Amino acid sequence: MAKRTVPLTAPDKLGFLLALVPYLIDQVRVTVTEAADHFGTSPDEMRKAVMLIAMSGTPGADGTYTHETLFDIDWDDFDERDMIRFRAAPMDDKPRFSSREAAALLAGLQRVAARPEFAARVDIVALMAKLARGSTGEPAPLAVRAAELADIQATLVDAVSTARRVRIDYVTTRGERTVRDVDPMSFEGVDDAWYLRGWCLTRDAERTFLLDRMASVEVLGAAEQHDAPLGTDDLFQGAETDERVTLAVPVAALPLIADYRGAGDPVRIEGERAVVTVRIAHAGILGRIAARVAGAVEAIEPKSARDALAAWARDALEAHDR
């Protein structure tokens, strides 16, 4: 299991306790470490949870908690040997899924179900029916379209899993056509975009390539191992060389250009317009920003950016009339 990185909320912790009780009772006797591994938590957290459960119970007929209505564990076994064994349990039910939990898994299944190797191993329809039946209410109304895999994607999935070098015919965000030899490391889908991350032999550095921008992919032969430094992701991080451009857009359109703005960058509201600073790698990005806000943008400064954006739009109109 992936390690948890998000801080857990009280409902998360309650869900954990409610799932932990029936597990521990089914196991009869289990080490703290094994139980912690099973739930992807630390031995310390597991001990704390067991102690909380062991002090809990139900109020009896007279409204007080007594030994008859409390959970009870073998304390000697727990304290001396780090073993969990329940001697008494007022509850051992396995919880159902909430509507939202069932929906999250169902929609996730819709996304991955299209992969033929899974369809061969698991009856997805039966699995979905089981999830829906195990939910407290009707699963929440949530649906996703299955991820479609085109030929290029299938080739890249295969190249990653069999460690083959690929040659890609690629167009950069600056619009330049380039041919790169890449030893693939991973192929990831984010929303409807797919990214190939790998060692670019042409640049001798780790690079990320967007599937949308690949004209073709050719499999060359066996890939080599590379010691890639972590966290050098040029596609997703603004470089120091990024130019700052001041723009005006309609106030309502501000959220549409959020990815081009720094987190703490100031916004000046002037009536219906918002004046903001964006960070761009090159002037070609300005046209893309303009398109996001349906053309309602003015580049204020520097003058070079103002001229570049105006020229971009005039060129587009001219080419269109031809």
Partner 1 sequence: MSASSRRIPVEERLFSLVLALLASEQGLTKAEILSTVTGYSSRYGNASDRANLERQFERDKEELRDLGVPLETVDAVGAEGDTKLQRYRIPPSRYQLPEDIEFSTEEFAMLTLAAQVWREGSLSTDSRRALTKLQSLGVHIDDSVIGFAPSIRTRDAAHEPLTTAIDRGQQVRFAYLKPGQTVAEQRTVSPLSLVFHEGRWHLHAHDDVVDARRTFLLRRIVGPVSPSGSPATTRPEPDESARALDELDALWRSTVATVRVRPGSEADIVMRNRPGTEDVAEGLNVHATDLDILADELAAFGADIQVLAPDSLREGVVARWQRVVSAHG
Q: Counting contacts by CB under 8 A, is residue 7 touching partner 1? A: no
Query: Which listed range, 48-56, 78-86, 221-229, 237-245, lies at the site for partner 1 (CB under 8 A)?
Result: 48-56
Nearer to partner 1, 204 or 322 (CB): 322
Q: Counting contacts by CB under 8 A, is residue 73 touching partner 1? A: no
Q: Which of residues 292-321 bind partner 1 (CB under 8 A)?
A: 292-299, 306, 309-310, 312-320
Q: Counting contacts by CB under 8 A, is residue 75 touching partner 1? A: no
Query: Is 144 within 8 Å of 107 (Cβ atoms)?
Result: yes
Nearer to partner 1, 254 or 281 (CB): 254
Helix (H) or strand (E) holding 145: none
Q: Counting contacts by CB under 8 A, is residue 83 touching partner 1? A: no
Query: Is 183 within 8 Å of 162 (Cβ atoms)?
Result: no
Position among 31, 42, 99, 277 found at the interface with partner 1 (CB under 8 A): 99
Query: Is 108 within 8 Å of 130 (Cβ atoms)?
Result: no
Q: Which of residues 209-238 bind partner 1 (CB under 8 A)?
A: 211-215
Rounded distance, CA 188 to CA 243, Å?
29
Q: Counting contacts by CB under 8 A, is residue 151 touching partner 1? A: no
Q: Counting contacts by CB under 8 A, is residue 16 touching partner 1? A: yes
Q: Counting contacts by CB under 8 A, is residue 274 touching partner 1? A: no
Cis bond upstream, residue 302 (ω within 30): yes
Q: Counting contacts by CB under 8 A, is residue 144 touching partner 1? A: yes
Which residues are within 8 A (CB) of 136 and not within 5 positions of it... i.e. 6 or more apart?
96, 97, 98, 99
Q: Residue 260: name the closest of 274, 273, 240, 242 by CA.
A: 242
3-state secondary structure of 218: strand
Q: Counting contacts by CB under 8 A, is residue 252 touching partner 1? A: yes
Q: Residue 298: name the closest of 272, 317, 259, 263 by CA.
A: 272
Nearer to partner 1, 137 or 302 (CB): 137
- The binding track of 191-210 with respect to partner 1, each residue x by CB under 8 A or -, is xxx-----------------
Q: Counting contacts by CB under 8 A, is residue 184 touching partner 1? A: no
Position among 7, 63, 221, 264 found at the interface with partner 1 (CB under 8 A): 63
Rounded distance, CA 213 to CA 87, Å?
62
Take residue 299 and report the two structure tokens written for it: 């580049």
Rounded distance, CA 124 to CA 210, Å?
30
Query: Which listed range, 74-82, 189-197, 218-226, 263-271, lies at the site for partner 1 (CB under 8 A)?
Result: 189-197
